[in-house]
Structure 1
C-alpha cells in the first residue's frame, strides 16, 4: 500500500458514506461519469462512479483535516504577541520603516496600538570622512571610462550620480561647459595641444558635504582618415556659411586639399510609397472580389424569393391543365419572356439533367438544392415524393405553398423598401443643407458688416 493510500485510508469510510448519499445509479450525470471511467479504464483506479466519488470526497476530507490542524498549530504558537525591548532599525540606505506595536500599560485594561517611524541607521562623522577619502581615491578609475589618464582625455568621461554603492552622492560641475558638459560628454572641439578643464565634484553623505576640484587635459579624439576628412569638410562648410550668411544661396566648396568635391542631393524615391499602395490595392481588390461574390449571391437569393410564388402559380396552372410534372417543367423551360429570370435558368438546367439520364426525382431534388433556399429545397422534395406516390392533390399543395410564398414576397418587398429609405436618408440630408444655403445666402449677403 502506497503512502498516499495509507494517508487516505482513515477518511475513505467517511467518503464512502457521503458518496452513498450522493450517487444514484439512475442519475444521468453519474451515468455519463461511468462511461467516461470505462473509456479511460486502463489508467483509472476507480471501477465505477461510486468509488470515484468516494475517493474524491476522501481527498477533500484529508486536506480539510490536516489544513485545520496546521491552522490550529500556527494559531497556538504565533497567537500571542511576543514581548520585546528592542526594535531593529533599517540598515544604511534602506530608508525609513513604519510599523505598529502594541503597548500594555500596567494597571490598564486593553493594550494600545502605537505607530512607530524608524529612520535608517546614521553614519558617524568618522565613517563619513572615510567615505569621502575613499571616493577621492577611487575618483580616477570611476570617471575615466575609455580614456588613458586624466592628462589625456579624448572621449567622454563618466560622471556617476553616486559612488561607493550609493553611500555618497555626487554632483558634477565644469568650468568649460562648451567642451565638457555636466554629464561628462565631450561637446566641443579642443585644440591640438590640449585644453585644461577644471572639474568640481560635490560629495554629500547624510547632512555633510565636501567639494573636490581637479583638472583634466582634453585632446581631440583619435579619428580615422575618413573622419578627419569629413571634419575638414564640415569646418569648410561652416566657414563658408558664416561668410555668406546674407546671400540667398550657399556656394558649396569645390575642392579640399587639391581634390575636387562633387555634391549630390539624394532624391526622395517614391518606390516605397508605390510598393505600399500596390499592397493596399491588392488587398482591397481581394476583399472587393469577395464582397462582389457575396453581393451576387444575395442578389440571386432575393430574386429567387421574389419569383417563388409566380413560379408555383405557373406550375400549378400547367398541372391542372393535364401536364405531368416533367411536361410542365419542359413547357416553362421553352417559354421565352421579355426579361430573363434566375428561376428560368434553373428550370432549364433541371430539364437538361433529365434529358442526360438523371432520374426525374433526383433532378427535382437537385433543382431545390441548387437554389440554396429552404422553400425551393422543400418544393423539390415535394415534387420528388409526389412523383413516387402519384400527383393526386399536388396542385392544391402547390397552391398552399404559393400563398405562403406570396406572403414572404410581401415581407421581403417591405424590408427592401425600408433599406432603400435608409440609404436615401444621407442624400436627403445633403439636399436639405443645400436648400438651406440657397435660401439663407441672399439674406446673409444683404447684411453690411
Structure 2
C-alpha cells in the first residue's frame, strides 16, 4: 500500500510541477496518436534525463523514426516517441498504483487490536477467519477460526432435527473407516451449518474424546466402546443425539495437546461472547503465549508487480509498433514506385528535364493531397515516396547540387528500388540524357512485375490465414451432416 501511494503521489506531483512546462514540439500533437498528452511535460523531463545519460536510443532508432515520420526531423520524432513511451509507462504505473491503493484502503482489517474478530449481526452468517498463529511450540501455524452469527428464530423444527441428525451421522467419523474402528480425530462440530442449530457434546467421555473430537491419551491399551452424546439446541428446543463407536488409544504430542486446549478455549469463547460484538482471541494457553496475525494478503503486491511488468513491456511493444510502421512504409513505397516511374517517363518523353519532371510530380501530389484532405473528417494518409521527393525538391530549391540530391534521395528512402532510381538520375546528370528513357522503361517493366509478385504473395498470405476458419467451417459442416446420419442408425 505504501509503495502504491508513493508511486501515485510522485506521478501526480510530477504532473502538477511540470504542467507549466512548454515545448513547441509537444504543443500541436494529434490527440488520436498521443492520447496521454497530459503526461508529456513530465515525460519530457524524464526524456531529457535519459538524453543526458545517452540512453535516448532505447525509445527507437533515429533512422527508423526518420523513415516513418518523413516530414519531421529525426530528433523531433525521437523526442515525441520518447515522451509517448514514458507517458505510457507512467500511465500503467499510476493506474496500477491507484487500484492497489484503493483495494488496500477499502479492505477491512480482520483483527481489531490484534485480538478481536468482529461477529456478524443477527440475521448474518457464520464467519470463518483464516489467521496465522505464532507460539513457542508451533512457530507459525495457520488456524481457521469459526465465529457464529447471532441467533435467529427458526421454523420447521422436525425437518431441522432430521437434517441435523443426517449431517452428524455423515460427518462425525471425519475420515475414519467406520464407527467400529476409530483411530483418528472425530468431527464434533459446535453447530450445524446453515441451520442455526448449536451442538453441545456431553463430557461424559472427555477422558477419551475431547470436545473438538481429538482423541486423548488414557490408561487404556485395548479398544474402548464409547457412546457420544450431544444436545442439539435450537433456541428453546433441545434434542438428544447418540452415536456409538469404538476408539483406540491415540498418541498425543505436545503440539496436539496445545491445539486441543486451544480449540477448547476457542469454543468456550465463541459460546461465552456470542451476544457480544467482538470475539476476543486468547493471548495464551497455559504458559504458552500466542501471537495472532492476519494471514498475509498478497493481492496488492502481486497486482503491483503485474503493473511493473506491464510498464516494462510498454517500451518493447511501442518499438515493435514502430517496426510495423516501417514495414508498412516500405510496402507503400514499393506500391507507388511503378506509378512514379511511369509519370517520370511520360514527363521526360514530353520534353521536360529530370529536375522539371521531379518538380511537376511533387507539385501535382501536393495539390491532390490538399484537395483530398479538404474534409478533415476523412483525412488521407501521406505517401512516403512522394514526401521524400518533396524533401529532395526543397533541397534543390535551396541550392544543393542535383546529383547530390538524387543520391541522398535514394539513400534516405532505404529501399533498393528507390536507391536504383536515384543513382540512375545521378548518372544521367553526369553522363548526359542518352538512353535515360530506355533505362526508365526497363525499370518500369521490372517494377510492375515486382508489384504483381507482391500482390500475389499478399494473396497467398491472406489465403493461408483463412485456412483455419475454413477448416473450422468444414468440421462444422461434416458434424452437421454425419451426426444426424449416424443417429438414424439403430444398433
TM over 0.5: no
Question: Under TM normalisation by the shorter chain, which class is it?
Answer: 0.3 to 0.5
Higher normalized contact order (CA 8 Å, seq sep 6+, divided by chain length): 2
Q: TM-score with structure 2 length normalisation?
A: 0.39
- TM score, norm. by length of structure 1: 0.42
Larger radius of gyration: 1
